[in-house]
Structure 1
Amino acid sequence: MNAPNTALRAVRTGMRMSQDDFARALQAAGLRVGEPNDANKRLVQRWESGAIAAPRPVYARALEVVTGLPISLLGFAAIPEGQAVDDQRGGHDLTSPLSSLATPTPKPLAVHGSHEGVWLSRYQYHSSGRGDSFAGQHFVVVLQHGDRLTVRSLPGSAASSLSLDLTVDGAVVTGTWVEQTDPIGYYRGARYHGAIQLLVEPTGRRMAGKWVGFGKDMDVNTGPWELTFRDASTSKATLDQYNRLPE
């Protein structure tokens, strides 16, 4: 008897989603990356109960888009090389070992290829209340599916949590950001969000540009933002290594 997948359940409940909500989010994610799926509440229940040891690749990619985490951190059991993976009907895929799911092969991009891995995110902002400028830093994990990047901060790298949803078009990266500030910090858990546009350097190892967002008085603020590449791996060991405050 398989053990329940408590890691996946913890991630889902941490996102404040019911199993129905989670299934709908997986369907929407599949459509966004051009891989429609038939996720439903029953499938989520079977994953969380351990009845299905690992998702098929189409679901693995949707899970990464929705959660912002690599499939290796979502509590699924490792499958020996060549062994089939259960699907939602209780049958089996013909091939596809789980080892191929940890870092899915992205669709080729026009210029820079894959941006997946660990990056250091750093932005600057002015605090009108304190009359000074500050920098926010996070280690973030970047997952890529085609031309879409899902970016999530590692929880130990800062007191606030950061997420970005981006689209790559050649050397231009455009999207949105959300930051949940420290509940006991200066901003007392306030949630801020806005837009961001970055240019990827020819090396592919740095993205730099500007963010825009609203202040507490609904004034429009802006400032510099950059992401600097640190590691191409998204394995648990690598993420544990960077789950700390940046130096």
Structure 2
Amino acid sequence: MTTPNSTLRAVRMGLLLSQDEFARAIREAGTRAGQRNDASKRLVQRWEAGITAAPRPLYARALESVTGLPVEALGFAVVPMARVSEDGQGGHDLQDSPVGIPEASGTPTPQAAPRGNYSGVWLSTYEFVSSGRNNEVFTGKHFVVLLQHGNRLTGRSLPNASLNPDSPLTLDLQIDGTAVTGTWTEQTASDGYYRGARYFGALQMLIDPTGRRMSGKWCGFGKEFDVNTGPWELRLMDSSTSKATLAAYDRAPDAS
């Protein structure tokens, strides 16, 4: 039995691209790189259905170009490759951008069934302290499309839906009853304060009884070999993931 690649589907939908449009973008990326490919809607469907578990290198490079994410972050069954900066630092509020998060090993723990379907558009809000800016507290906001498959919840911010421009956010979460646990990754803007650095960390939240809010905390590595943490909340805006709904939320959230 194949497992659908809901991560790739969430990323594609977050880019507001149909399967046809996504295939065209992959072909165009290959042409720009001088490595033409034959990406088609059918190939995208096979990727998202999990029938093709890993893309060939030719397609992997084009996928990275189109999505702005390493191929191991797109839900494919590939071995993660560590891409660590020279100083080995990583996490929130750093100047360089390591990424590799190893896969978990051992026997999976049975999980409680989720109480509902949490697919939809959510407002993601987190806070962090910037040690480089006099320990001032900053807020990050994104409208994120979440897609659920079984106990897995994957998300990607919409293209223009971050409080800080050009800072896409991805989430890879597991639901166990009312507990949500997983990882987050944010690519900062190349012309922003963090100069295009890519940050990642862990996230754990609880779903409230209404099923319309998740709240908890993130953690990530600091500059001085410490672990930073802060609050994170997801609030449901719309349970629809139609193209019209995604287009309506493809804007920067209110700063308040």
Q: TM-score range by the shorter chain?
A: 0.5 to 0.7
Give the counterpart of 2:51 among 19, 37, 51. 37
Q: Specify the alignment match of 2:210 in structure 1.
A: 203
For residue 239 of structure 1, give the secondary structure of its aligned residue in structure 2: helix
User: How far apart in 2 are the matches of 1:115 and 1:128?
Assistant: 35
Measure, in 2, the Cα distance between the counterparts of 1:198 and 1:12: 39
Q: Identify unmatched segments of 5+ residues in structure 1.
A: 31-35, 46-64, 68-108
Distance 1:224 1:184, change over 3 A: same
* Distance change in 2, residues 1:145/1:221 (3 Å): same
Q: Which runs of 4+ in 1 moved over 3 A?
A: 11-14, 38-42
Equivalent residue letter for 1:37: I
Task: Report what 2:151 is aligned to.
Answer: 147
Equivalent AA in structure 2 for residue 125 of structure 1:
F
Q: Does the 8 Å contact 2:201/2:220 carry over to 1?
A: yes
Residue aligning to 1:117: 120
Instruction: Decide whether aligned partners of structure 1 residues 168 and 146 sit closer, same or farther in structure 2, where only a CA change above 3 A counts.
Output: same
Q: Please give the secondary structure, in 1, of the residue aligned with 2:133.
A: coil
| Counterpart AA for 2:117 | S
Given that residues 189 and 195 in structure 2 are in contact (C-alpha distance below 8 angstroms), is that contact kept between their aligned partners in structure 1?
A: yes
Aligned to 1:100: none
In our comparison, the structure showing a higher alpha carbon Rg is 1
Tell me the residue number matched to 2:174. Answer: 167
The aligned residue for residue 156 of structure 1 is 160
CA deviation vs aligned residue, 1:156-180 (integer Å, no higher than 9, x gap): 0122110010000000000001000
Q: Work out the percentage of aligned pairs sharing the same amino acid.
A: 56
Written as runs of structure 1 = structure 2, the 5 A alignment for 1:52-201 is 66=75, 110-131=113-134, 132-158=136-162, 159=165, 160-201=167-208
Is the Cα–Cα contact under 8 Å of residues 150 and 164 in structure 1 kept in the other structure?
A: yes
Q: What do the CA deviations read for 1:47-102 (whole angstroms, capped 9, x no partner)? A: xxxxxxxxxxxxxxxxxx749xxxxxxxxxxxxxxxxxxxxxxxxxxxxxxxxxxx
Matches of 1:169 and 1:40 in 2, distance apart?
Answer: 27
Q: CA RMSD in A?
A: 3.7
- Higher relative CO (Cα under 8 Å, sequence separation at least 6) belongs to 2
Task: State the TM-score, normalizing by the size of structure 2.
Answer: 0.59
Distance 2:151 2:206 in 1: 14
Match of 2:109 in 1: none
Q: Confirm or deny: 8 A CA contact 1:19 1:41 kept in the other structure.
A: no
Asked if structure 2 preserves the Cα contact closer than 8 Å seen for 1:154 and 1:243, the reply is yes
Amino acid at match of 1:143: L
Name the counterpart of 1:239: 246
Distance in 1 (CA, whole Å) between partners of 2:133 and 2:119 is 36
Shift of 1:214: 1.1
Q: Which of 217, 229, 233 is the matching residue for 1:222?
A: 229
User: What SS does the corresponding residue of 1:129 show, helix, strand or coil?
Assistant: helix
Unaligned runs of 5+ in 2: 1-18, 60-73, 77-111
Distance in 2 between the 1:187 and 1:178 partners? 14
Q: Using a 3 Å threshold, how does the CA distance of structure 1 residues 191 and 217 change in structure 2: closer, same or farther?
A: farther
Distance in 1 (CA, whole Å) between partners of 2:182 and 2:219 is 11
Aligned to 2:80: none
Q: Aligned partners of 1:119, 1:157: CA distance in 2, in Å?
A: 11
Tell me the matched-pair count: 176
Would the alpha carbon gap of residues 6 and 236 (structure 1) be closer, same or farther in structure 2, given more than 3 Å must change?
closer
1:11 is displaced (CA, Å) by 5.8
